[in-house]
């Protein structure tokens, strides 16, 4: 094999791809206490896994699934109480964001997002040739709603993207403010509700009846505990879904993932019980962190907590990792220098984290 790879071949790639960096979870490694990706601490109960194995036996692995996972779509429509034709299901909600890009972004399209914002969005916008217009947060890390509205008036964007509660900050946008933003926009407003089950403000879904420009994005990776299966969904008015459907690749959701999604939707009480437990664990974790003198903590409306220890975040992350606990350094976000993010695990995982933190900063 030749040592030097011809640069002109790589230059055939779209410049937007050439300029990008791959999405990698920093510091990922096997540890006993994994609190770095806002996952659920709960796997499926073994009895449900066995039920699934039985169901998997009935599946013809040699046959394609249907183009779109229609049974799962219908189950989600009934779970959300929305009319038929309002839901698209994808291979995780991240995958659906690419459909938004494909449908709405052309060269030079401005896309407004608050900053800080889940980093995948800016990359998705750039890859499709769009221009992310970042609107700085307030000094308490809240979304600056007036500034977002001013940016909408200035740029008249086809697309504005919010996440509430926000990853990375953990803070919800008050529902009335989501409505103000939606009302001010003649383009679409995507509300990413990856953490909506934890949101004290409730979902923005009901705004969709009044405002046809609202698109809701959700995932089964967090409260449903299915990050490993890759299921996410989008809710929009049927006319919007029908248009988006034209750009969807077929067969994005495999038969196994569809079965698992259907099973969990038949056990909604399991999910809601677990959500209640996670809320209690997160509140206790937040309380414990707040009681530590050297730690600054942000409020949280999600299943994770942002904190700063007044020491170098990389060094602290290393010390925690040496103690077998993995959290996330948020220094990649300009506004969050020095902050770390810890996902709430089980009480014993949270205790292991707090013990490790106490010894690391002590
Ligand atoms: C705001 C937000 N949206 C989307 C996702 C990803 O969802 P999915 O696993 O369905 O791709 C995450 C994951 O961390 C997230 O924080």
Domain-by-domain residue ranges, the chain?
Answer: 25-40+269-361, 57-266
Residue of 40, 219, 230, 330 to mutate, ligand 1, most atoms within 8 A of C-beta: 219
Q: Which of 174, 118, 169, 176 is nearest to 140 (CA)?
A: 169
- Atom index in ligand 1 nearest the CA of residue 221 equals 9
What's the pTM?
0.96
Q: How many whole angstroms from 219 Cα to the centroid of ligand 1?
A: 7
343: which strand partners?
A: 304
- Identify whether the C-beta of residue 209 lies closer than 8 Å to the C-beta of residue 181: no
Residues 6 or more apart whose CB falls under 8 angstroms from that of 341 comprise 36, 38, 168, 170, 304, 305, 306, 307, 327, 328, 330
Atom 12, ligand 1: residue with shortest CA distance? 194
Q: What is the CATH code for 57-266?
A: 3.40.640.10
Residue 67 near residue 250, CB atoms below 8 Å: yes
Q: Is 93 in the pocket of ligand 1 (CB under 6 A)?
A: yes
User: Class of the 25-40+269-361 domain?
Assistant: alpha beta
How does pLDDT run along the chain (362 residues), one tens digit per residue? 667 999 999 999 999 999 999 998 877 788 999 999 999 999 999 999 999 999 999 999 999 999 999 999 999 999 999 999 999 999 999 999 999 999 999 999 999 999 999 999 999 999 999 999 999 999 999 999 999 999 999 999 999 999 999 999 999 999 999 999 999 999 999 999 999 999 999 999 999 999 999 999 999 999 999 999 999 999 999 999 999 999 999 999 999 999 999 999 999 999 999 999 999 999 999 999 999 998 999 999 999 999 999 899 999 999 999 999 999 999 999 999 999 999 999 999 999 999 999 999 97
Tell me how far the alpha carbon of residue 5 lies from the centroid of ligand 1, in angstroms.
Answer: 35
Question: Which residues lie below 8 Å from residue 114, measured CB to CB, with a gap of 6+?
Answer: 134, 135, 137, 143, 144, 148, 162, 166
Distance between Cα 217 and ligand 1 center (Å): 9
| 39 Cα: distance to centroid of ligand 1 (angstroms) | 10
Distance (Å, rounded) from C-alpha 193 to C-alpha 163? 6
CA 239 to centroid of ligand 1, rounded, Å: 25
Ligand 1 pocket residue status of 38, Cβ below 6 Å = yes
């Amino acid at each position: 094999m030749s040592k030097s790879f011809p640069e002109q071949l790589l230059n055939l790639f779209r410049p937007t791809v050439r300029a990008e960096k791959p999405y990698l979870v920093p510091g990922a490694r096997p540890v006993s206490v994994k609190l770095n990706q806002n996952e659920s601490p709960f796997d499926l109960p073994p009895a449900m896994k066995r039920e699934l194995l039985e169901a998997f036996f009935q599946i013809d692995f040699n046959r394609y699934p249907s183009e779109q996972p229609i049974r799962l779509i219908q189950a989600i429509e009934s779970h959300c109480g929305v009319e038929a034709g309002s839901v698209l299901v994808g291979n995780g909600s991240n995958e659906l964001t690419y459909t938004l890009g494909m449908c709405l972004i052309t060269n030079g399209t401005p896309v407004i997002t608050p900053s800080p914002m889940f980093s995948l969005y800016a990359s998705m916008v750039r890859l499709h040739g769009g221009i992310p217009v970042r609107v700085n947060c307030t000094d308490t890390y809240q979304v600056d709603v007036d500034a977002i509205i001013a940016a909408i008036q200035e740029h008249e964007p086809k697309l504005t993207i919010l996440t509430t509660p926000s990853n990375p900050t953990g803070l919800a946008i008050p529902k009335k403010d989501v409505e103000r933003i939606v009302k001010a926009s003649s383009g679409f407003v995507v509300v990413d509700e990856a953490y909506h089950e934890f949101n004290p403000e409730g979902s923005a879904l009901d705004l969709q009846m009044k405002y046809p420009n609202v698109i809701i994005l959700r995932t089964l990776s967090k409260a449903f505990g299915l990050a490993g299966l890759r299921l996410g969904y989008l809710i929009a008015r049927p006319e919007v879904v029908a248009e988006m459907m034209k750009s969807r690749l077929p067969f994005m959701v495999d038969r196994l993932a569809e079965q698992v999604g259907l099973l969990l939707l038949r056990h909604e009480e399991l999910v809601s019980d677990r959500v209640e437990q996670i809320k209690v664990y997160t509140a206790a974790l937040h309380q414990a962190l707040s009681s530590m003198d050297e730690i600054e903590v942000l409020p949280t409306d999600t299943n994770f907590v942002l904190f700063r220890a007044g020491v170098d975040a990389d060094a602290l992350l290393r010390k925690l990792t040496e103690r077998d606990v993995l959290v996330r350094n948020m220094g990649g976000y300009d506004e969050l220098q020095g902050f770390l993010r810890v996902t709430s695990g089980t009480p014993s995982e949270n205790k292991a984290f707090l013990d490790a933190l106490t010894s690391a900063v002590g």
